[in-house]
Structure 1
C-alpha cells in the first residue's frame, strides 16, 4: 500500500525578518506612478531642508522580495510542524487550507484532528502519511525518493484507469504512482493532469487526487516529482501568489514586471473609512494598500474611488444625459430629442402631437401654448421637476468630471513636460557660456516634479468634492483646493515660458519661490483632508 510523501517541506531556512528593510516613510513625498516615477524617481528637491516627519495618517510597511515571502512561509510551516508534531508538508497543506491562520488551525486541529486533516485533504491521524514516529530523519529532497513504492503481492500487470495502458509488474514502482488514498494511476497521466491544473487553471494549493470524489491533496514533493522543471517552477510561483492573496497583511505590487509584495498591518478593512494607506514599492511606484489601486489616489477613500470609476466607466451618465435631454412619446414611448425652440412636438413615429413642457396633448393648449396652463397639474409639475433635477445632476457631474479629467490628462503628459523642461535647462546652460553647471539648473526639474505631484492631488480632490456634502468643512476644503490650483497654474505658466530669454538669477529665484509655495499648498490640502478623516469632519453623500 502506498502513502503520501513524508519529506520535509523544502524552503530556505534563513529567517527573512530584517528590520533594516522596514519602510516607515512620509507618504506626502510620493508621486503618481508609471509615467512620472519612470522619469524622475524619488524627488529630493532642494525645497525640503530636513527629513519629513511621520504623519498620523501614514502607515508603516515593508517591501518583501520573493525570497522573503518564501522564508515567511517556511517560518510559519516550521512553527506549526513543531506545535502539531506533523511532517512539514502536512503543516503546509493545513496552513493553506486555513488561509495561513495559525490560531484557527490550532484550535480546530486540537478539537478534532481527524476532521481538520480530512477537510484539508490529508490522511487521517495514525496513517503513514501523518505519523511522525514512522518518519525517517529529515534530509534534503534530492537525497532520497519518498515516492518509491514496493509491492508485496499480486505480481500481475497494472492497467491505468485513465489511459488504459498496461504496465508489467516489474515497472509497478517506477511507472505508477498513488497518494495516501491508494488511488493509483500511471505517472504519465499524473504528470499531464498536474501540468494542466498548474498551467491551464492556475491551481497550486488545492490540486486533488484524480479519482472522482477524492479530496486528497497532492503534496508539494509529489508535484516536483511528477512534472517537468518549468512546470514545477510555475507551481511554486503560484504557491507564493496564493500565500500573498490569503494573507490580509500582504499585497502584490500591481505594476507590470514588479516581483515585490508589500506587507502592512495598519490598514485593515475597518480602517479604510479613515485612512488612505498609500505605500511605495521598491520598483519606485506608488500604490494603495487598501484597495490595490496602482497609483496614489489620496486624498480620496478607496470606497469613493471605486464608486467614481464605476460612474465614469459605465452607462449611468449616458442614461442621465438621455433623461436630461430627451423624453418619451406618451403614446408610442419612442425616445424623442428636441431639435428646435418650439414646444409643439410631433412624434415622427406615431405622429402624436404634444407639449414638450408638460407632455400633455397639444390640442388642449390652443393658441395659448406658451402659457401652458397644465403646469398646475401634478403630472406636469413632476415632469418639470424630474427634467430639472436630471439636468442639474448632469451639469454637476460634468463640472467635477471635466476638472478631474483635465488634471489626469495633464499628468499623462508629464513625460513631454519633463522633456521640454530638460531642453530648457540645456538652453540655459548653453546661454550661460559655461558659467552655469548642470546642477545649478536643476531647479526647473524640481519644480516640474512639484507641479506633477500637485496635479495628481488636484485630480483626486475633484473626485472627493463630487461626493462631499455641502457644509462649512466643504467650503474650507474647496478654498484649499482653489489655492493649490491657482499656485500650480502660476508655476506651470512660468515653466512653459521662454526661460532662455530671462536672467537666470531672477528666473531661478522666481521658480524656486513659486515651487516652494506650491509644495506648501499641496501639503496643506493633503494634511487637512487626511486628518479630517481621522477627526471625522467629512460627510459624504454615499456610504463610506
Structure 2
C-alpha cells in the first residue's frame, strides 16, 4: 500500500520570484487563441437530409437538369463539390456523366423488340421491363429480387446494372420505384444506407462514433481536432474517429495502438505490475494519480516511474521521462537490437499506461471532492460556488494528464535530433507541473486556493506551449 505524498521540499522546485513571474506571463497571454479550438456543430439525420436536398437543388438549377437524381449522383461522385461538377459538366457533359457512371458513352440503348428477360428467361410485355441509361433490359421482378439482395448486403449508391460487365449505377428513384411497393422496411434501410454513403463522401461531415448515436458532426474542414457530440457526449478525433490523441497525429496513434495490441501480454503484465519500495523493498501498489509516492512503511518519498529519491527529483525530471538511446546499438547483434527495441517500447508503454491509470484514479478522486463539497455546503461552510475551484482544478488536471499520456506515443515514433530533444524537454516540464497540480489537489484541505490556482495556470500554460509547438494541423 502507498499514498501519493510529498514534502515541503516540493516547493523548492521553483524559485519564488520565478514562480510568480511565470504566473504573470501566463495570465497576460490568456487571451491568445486556443490551439485546440475547433468550430463544429452536431446535426441530426433530418438536418443532413435537408443539407443534401439543398445541394441537389442548387446544382439542378445551375445546370438546368431535368432529373434531381442525376444531380445527386454527380455530387456524390465528386464528393459534393458543386463547383467542380459545374465546371466539368459545362466543359464536357457526356464525359462527366460517364465518370459518375450515370450514362455510358460506349453502349447504345437496347431497342430490341423481342422482350426476353435474360435472367428469368421469360418473354414478357414491354411494360414489364426496366433498364438504366445503359439500355440493358430486365423484367421488373428480376430487378426487384436483385435489388433486395444488394440492399441486404448493405449496398446502396454503388448498386450497378445487372448486365455482366456494365458498371452504370442505379439512381435512387429507380430503386425506390421497384422496392417501395414491396417493403417499407427495405425502403427505409436503403435510404439509410444512401445517407450513410453520402455522409462518408462529404468533406464536411463526420459520423459520431458514440454507441447507438445517430448524430453527425458538421465542420468547415475535417481535421485531427477534438469534438464532443452534444447528443451522446462522446469525445473523439474528427479525422480518424478514435480517441482524441493530441499531440500525436492519426497515423502515429494508429501505429501505436497496433503495436500495443501485438504486445498485449506485455501490456497486461505492466498493467498489473507492482513495484518494491527502493528503501525497504516492501511491495507497493499505486493507489493515487500522483507519481510522487510515499512508502507507508518507511515513509520514503520516491518517484513511481524511475524509483528515484523525490527530494532531488525536481532537477532530474527531464531524465526520468526521456528514453536514453544506445548510441552503439547499430553495431550490436540482431538479438541485442531486438532486446533494445523491446526495452524502448516498454519504457514508453509503461508511462503511457501509468498516465491512463492515473486518469482513472483521479476520476475517483474527483467524485470524492464532489462529495466533500456537498458536505461542506450542507454544513454551511461556504456555498457551492465557493468550492467550485476544486472541481475546476480536477477537470484541468484530467485535461493536462490526457494530453501528457498521448505525448509518449508521439515521442516513441519521433526521430532522434534537436526536435525530439525540445519535445522531451517540454514533455518533462509539463509532467512536472501536472504532478505538482495532482499533489496539491489531493491535499486540497491544506492547499491554499491561490496556490492551487497558480498551479492550474502554470500547468495549462505548459500544455498549451507543447501543443502549439508540436500539434499537427
Query: TM-score category by the smaller chain?
Result: 0.5 to 0.7
Q: How does 1:25-40 map to 2 (within 5 A)?
A: none
Q: Deviations over 1:49-88 (max 9, x none)?
A: x997533553333433323322332232223222322221
- 2:412 corresponds in structure 1 to 466
- 1:218 corresponds in structure 2 to 170
Distance (whole Å) between structure 2 residues aligned to residue 488 and residue 232 of structure 1: 56
Q: How does 1:377-396 map to 2 (within 5 A)?
A: 386=334, 388-396=336-344
Q: Deviations over 1:356-408 (max 9, x none)?
A: xxxxxxxxxxxxxxxxxxxxxxxxx9885555544444333222211111111
- 1:194 corresponds in structure 2 to 147
Distance (whole Å) between structure 2 residues aligned to residue 480 and residue 394 of structure 1: 26
Q: Deviations over 1:122-167 (max 9, x none)?
A: 3469x9x9xxxxxxxxxxxxxxxxxxxxxxx98x9x7644345676
Question: Which is helix-richer, 1 or 2?
Answer: 2
Distance (whole Å) between structure 2 residues aligned to residue 403 and residue 316 of structure 1: 16
Q: Return closer, same or farther for 1:439/1:57 CA change in 2, 3 Å cut-off.
A: closer
* Larger relative contact order (Cα-Cα within 8 Å, sequence gap ≥ 6): 2
**Alpha-carbon offset, residue 518 of structure 1:** 4.7
Mapped contact 1:176–1:186 kept (Cα < 8 A): yes
1:261 to 210, 216, 221: 216
Mapped contact 1:404–1:463 kept (Cα < 8 A): yes
Distance (whole Å) between structure 2 residues aligned to residue 191 and residue 124 of structure 1: 23
- 1:453 corresponds in structure 2 to 399
Report the count of equivalent residues: 375
Larger Rg: 1
**Alpha-carbon offset, residue 419 of structure 1:** 4.0
Distance (whole Å) between structure 2 residues aligned to residue 285 and residue 166 of structure 1: 57
- 2:72 corresponds in structure 1 to 92
- Structure 2 residue ranges without an equivalent (≥5): 1-26, 267-328
Distance (whole Å) between structure 2 residues aligned to residue 81 and residue 477 of structure 1: 54
**Alpha-carbon offset, residue 490 of structure 1:** 0.1
Distance (whole Å) between structure 2 residues aligned to residue 230 and residue 54 of structure 1: 49
The question of 1:76 aligning with 2:76 is answered: no
The question of 1:531 aligning with 2:468 is answered: yes
- 2:237 corresponds in structure 1 to 288
TM-score, structure 2 normalization: 0.66
**Alpha-carbon offset, residue 527 of structure 1:** 1.3
Following superposition, which runs of at least 4 residues in structure 1 exceed 6 angstroms of deviation? none
1:401 to 345, 349, 354: 349
Q: Return closer, same or farther for 1:400/1:188 CA change in 2, 3 Å cut-off.
A: same
- Structure 1 residue ranges without an equivalent (≥5): 1-47, 130-152, 269-275, 319-380, 496-506, 537-543
Distance (whole Å) between structure 1 residues aligned to residue 69 and residue 406 of structure 2: 47
Q: Let me know the Cα RMSD of the aligned residues.
A: 4.0
**Alpha-carbon offset, residue 97 of structure 1:** 2.4
Q: Deviations over 1:320-342 (max 9, x none)?
A: xxxxxxxxxxxxxxxxxxxxxxx
